[in-house]
């Protein structure tokens, strides 16, 4: 009898609303949680894309177009909300939203084409070099300064990326086009730096607009540029040759690694800033490498391990509280 009473008392305490109110987290902590979840899923994208390209033999642009098409379809129920419809209509007329969608589509195109030849691990690293380019674009386009600790974090993270890159490039390559693939993915990293910068600009200037409507609106322009690319490469017929297994693979990328993660990402950008989360997102490199080594059989060496430690140090530095 006493045990039942004690359990009931504990349960009542746990669900008490006043207790829930006292356990609150700051917006910064919410942003870190959001970007942590996004990082976890984004870390799986590079091995998933590699398997789709080489294991399922999906054409890169077709694969990419289907990813964003499924992502867009998954967001259609949100248009039932009047506020979302109103925001989307307004967003479609804004140049920054158009550029955001175009940068996204072009960057991903370089990544998917490059990953036909580049390893999943090195792809994750090269895409994340945008951390180096973002502060440059932020300084030029947004006129923002970077404090000393964030500068140290960026340099440390980039050195970590460099070590991992050296380690990967020293490995014997069976594919003679591996270097070309790596360079294509690096271009993706540069363009992604522009995407991150415009994300911060939009999220800071459109405080009343939800991340969902911004992502949905920009994704329509991403689909537009990918459709143009599909016609340019004459891969329209490839859309009719997708088997159920491939659709399942694309569905995971489209819903878990695109819709959910980009919304979490845009929320984190608004609260925490593009440069801050840029370094934090480097953790996806580690996730990508671990999955690639254990599931795809890619090689790992001491350069990669040391680079990973530097990246974690960079993440710690960028989360370091600023003194007032």
Which band of pLDDT confidence, cut at 50, 70 and 90, is reported for residue 322? low
Q: Looking at per-residue confidence, does 202 or 4 come out higher?
A: 202
Domain boundaries, the chain: 35-318
Which band of pLDDT confidence, cut at 50, 70 and 90, is reported for residue 217? very high
Tell me: pLDDT of 68 over 90.
yes
- In this predicted structure, what is the pLDDT of residue 203? 76
Distance (Å, rounded) from C-alpha 295 to C-alpha 128? Answer: 21
pTM of the model: 0.78
- In this predicted structure, what is the pLDDT of residue 318? 62
Q: What is the mean pLDDT of residues 116-135?
A: 81
Summarised one tens digit per residue, pLDDT across range 237-288 is 777 777 888 888 899 999 999 988 888 887 888 787 766 776 677 678 788 8
């Amino acid at each position: 009898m006493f045990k039942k009473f004690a359990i009931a008392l504990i349960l009542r305490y746990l669900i008490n609303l006043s207790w829930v109110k006292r356990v609150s987290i700051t917006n910064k902590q919410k942003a870190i949680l959001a970007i942590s979840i996004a990082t976890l899923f984004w870390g799986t994208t590079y091995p998933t894309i590699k398997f789709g390209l080489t294991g399922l033999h999906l054409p890169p642009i077709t694969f990419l177009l289907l990813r964003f098409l499924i992502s867009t379809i998954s967001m259609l129920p949100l248009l039932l909300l009047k506020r979302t419809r109103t925001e989307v209509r307004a967003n479609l007329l804004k140049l920054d939203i158009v550029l955001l969608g175009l940068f996204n589509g072009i960057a991903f195109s370089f990544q998917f084409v490059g990953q036909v030849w580049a390893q999943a691990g090195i792809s994750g690293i090269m895409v994340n070099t945008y951390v180096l380019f973002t502060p440059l674009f932020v300084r030029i386009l947004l006129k923002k300064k970077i404090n000393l600790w964030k500068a140290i974090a960026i340099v440390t993270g980039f050195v970590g990326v460099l070590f991992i890159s050296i380690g990967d490039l020293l490995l014997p390559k069976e594919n003679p086009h591996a270097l070309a693939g790596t360079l294509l993915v690096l271009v993706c990293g540069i363009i992604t730096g522009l995407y991150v910068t415009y994300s911060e600009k939009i999220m800071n200037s459109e405080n009343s607009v939800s991340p969902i409507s911004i992502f949905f609106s920009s994704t329509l322009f991403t689909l537009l540029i990918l459709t143009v690319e599909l016609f340019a490469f004459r891969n329209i017929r490839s859309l009719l040759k997708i088997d159920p297994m491939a659709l399942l693979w694309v569905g995971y990328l489209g819903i878990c690694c695109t819709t959910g993660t980009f919304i979490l990402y845009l929320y984190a950008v608004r609260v925490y800033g593009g440069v801050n989360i840029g370094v934090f997102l480097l953790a996806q490199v580690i996730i990508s490498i671990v999955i690639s080594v254990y599931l795809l059989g890619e090689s790992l060496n001491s350069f990669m391990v040391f680079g990973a430690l530097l990246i974690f140090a960079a993440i710690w530095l960028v989360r370091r509280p600023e003194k007032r």
